[in-house]
A and B are shown apart, each in its own frame.
Chain A
């Protein structure tokens, strides 16, 4: 039983990592840019929701605050691309990496100055409630994380395979220039992708902050999500989620059964090992450029 609960809380954590990873795989797939601030987007999303919900701030109804904060973060992602990244079209990938790292610093400062430097929890209507199916004690927050992540995955799958704009995004990712010639507004698509990934970050943030406390430096969690994305090979949405789950499970298991300190370094060690030995991810087949 104890073991099962360990697994479930690991899965819940893993879903959050997976969602963050999903956010930057989205961006990477569609724009070739890597958002080193995705974890900070998540943190910002959580704080925006805390700002709407918690009674010391605005005290709105939780179920109103969540869609609001998702919208706010969507707008934030869209405007970030429209206002800043769009002007860097054509600069090297390294500059974009550096720029997003710098954005992370700014977001952390902004969140700390606007809300709080102290660990803060999101006040949810389901806080502390538990489900007890067959002797297990499951926090509603943890169950919710798993359910929401599953639903989001399904939604994204349908979005990319069925909708016009989803297909356009895929086209833009596979060949920017050709997509441009086909009349796909590549730059607007980029902004939309950034908006979308802002929204995913908000969801991840809300889920994370409802389960535990969050503070501005929580954004550094994004690096664990890099490990998740690396396991999935950076280009795959389901791979990112699966990678998140693996990292989420490794942490508590290593803490329980491994020597002390291992659980702390495990995600980064995995990231390093994967980059060295399987840079294409553990599920990928290598691709070759045609003609």
Chain B
């Protein structure tokens, strides 16, 4: 067990609690920076593309985590904001706006759009908000079709390549550059996210999550704070959507569907609600499942000559994992990781009830 003797306010404010932690995260950074070297060595960048996809999902996941994990507002419609970001990006690029401007703008416009949508429903409680965003998510595909001049409708739209200060970036032609670009965005957002959590804005989000009445009694304006959270959340989703478009190369009205919205929500729960790590852990799980299923399938086919081909297996397996997590590890993968780490740090003094949480009994949201 490490004791941290805090001798200044900085000790609490700093990003890393102690030097060892900073070293570990430094090593992690080196690892992700060096990852492409491996793929250069084997000369096949297919898996790197998958890893980039996981990073993009994690960016969207961070957006949803801020809203659901830190502000306590569920959303079943984040694919809608991704769609918004993606199409704004396409149109801006098409109009000749340079990528460095178009990309952040697509996030901000998605954020503004999200806030506009959310404002009327923000006074609603959890389940109602979930329903409203669900309806929005279902309508997305129809609206994409209706907005054909900008979205290409059912036929879809091709996403232009990125031109960053003269460097052409394309997911297939230059997978390494694309990886570093996405990585940069992800790390930048993690830094923003961490900053939020150590300043008044982030604390007002968690205050609302844990007790609205108390938050109000501390002077926090519920509507404005929730709207801020929604804005930031939809902005991150919009950025992820723009990157997703570049990664997919071609998007149609069915790209950002309900399943994607739901996957995002299930993803952050599996990863661990209320932790930035959770968004990444969850995205990794979402990225691994199809690979695992494909491998399992080919293994069964070659070894036992059994062919399994059932549609929906992926979602069902994912859902099954989620049910197990909610039942046995409500804190998600990150919570499990924390427990394992604490077990070794405290060995042999770890107690099973160390992470026990006070149960909050269901409060009715019908009357308030």
Contacts from A to B (Cβ < 8 Å): 32, 34, 84, 87-95, 97-99, 101-106, 108-110, 112-113, 117, 176-177, 216, 220, 223, 226-227, 230, 234-235, 261, 264-265, 268-269, 271-272, 275-277, 279, 287-289
Contacts and interface: CB of A to CB of B under 8 A. Distances in A.
B127 A109 contact: no
A216 B136 contact: no
Contacts, number: 140
Contacts of B127: 34, 93, 97
Given A109-B313, A275-B124, A287-B367, A97 B359 contact: no
Interface string B112-142: 0000000011011011101110111011001
19 contacts: A87-B327, A91-B330, A97-B126, A98-B74, A103-B323, A104-B319, A105-B312, A105-B318, A106-B319, A106-B323, A109-B313, A223-B134, A223-B138, A235-B366, A261-B145, A269-B135, A269-B139, A275-B131, A276-B120
Given A103-B323, A279-B128, A216 B312 contact: yes
B139 A272 contact: yes
Nearest to B327: A87
Interface of B: 68, 72, 74, 76, 120-121, 123-124, 126-128, 130-132, 134-136, 138-139, 142, 145-146, 258, 262, 265-266, 269, 310-313, 315-316, 318-320, 322-323, 326-327, 330, 359-362, 364-368
Contacts of A271: 131-132, 135
Given A87-B327, A95-B326, A223-B138, A32 B132 contact: no
B311 A289 contact: no
A264 B131 contact: no
B305 to A, nearest CB: 20
B327 to A, nearest CB: 6
B316 A265 contact: no
A149 to B, nearest CB: 23
A93 B121 CA distance: 17
B256 to A, nearest CB: 16
A103 B327 CA distance: 13
Contacts of A112: 310-312
Given A101-B266, A105-B315, A90 B362 contact: yes
Nearest to A234: B366
Contacts of B123: 279
Contacts of B132: 271-272, 275-276
A103 B319 contact: yes
Contacts of A32: 362, 364-366
Contacts of A264: 142
Contact of A93 (B136, B316, B326, B365): B365
A261 B146 contact: yes
Nearest to A216: B312
B266 A98 contact: yes
A89 B30 CA distance: 44
B74 A94 contact: yes
Nearest to B268: A98
A109 B139 contact: no
A101 B310 contact: no
B327 A265 contact: no
Q: 3 smallest A-B Cβ distances: which pairs? A: A109-B316, A90-B359, A105-B319
Contacts of A106: 316, 319-320, 323
A288 B132 CA distance: 23
B322 A98 contact: yes
A84 B327 CA distance: 7
Nearest to A98: B269
Contacts of B368: 289
A108 B269 contact: no
A34 B68 CA distance: 17
A119 B127 CA distance: 32
B342 to A, nearest CB: 22
Given A94-B68, A234-B366, 17 more contacts: A91-B360, A93-B365, A95-B330, A97-B127, A101-B76, A101-B262, A102-B319, A102-B322, A106-B316, A112-B311, A113-B310, A216-B312, A261-B145, A269-B139, A271-B132, A277-B120, A289-B368
A289 B313 CA distance: 46
B116 to A, nearest CB: 12
Contacts of A110: 316
Among the interface residues A34, A101, A112, A272, which one has the most CB atoms of the partner chain B within 10 A?
A272
Contacts of B313: 109
Contacts of A34: 127, 130-131
B362 A93 contact: yes
Contacts of A108: 312, 315-316
Contacts of B124: 275, 279
Given A108-B316, A109-B310, A289-B367, A98 B265 contact: yes
Nearest to A174: B364
A205 B88 CA distance: 42
A272 B135 contact: yes
A268 B138 contact: yes
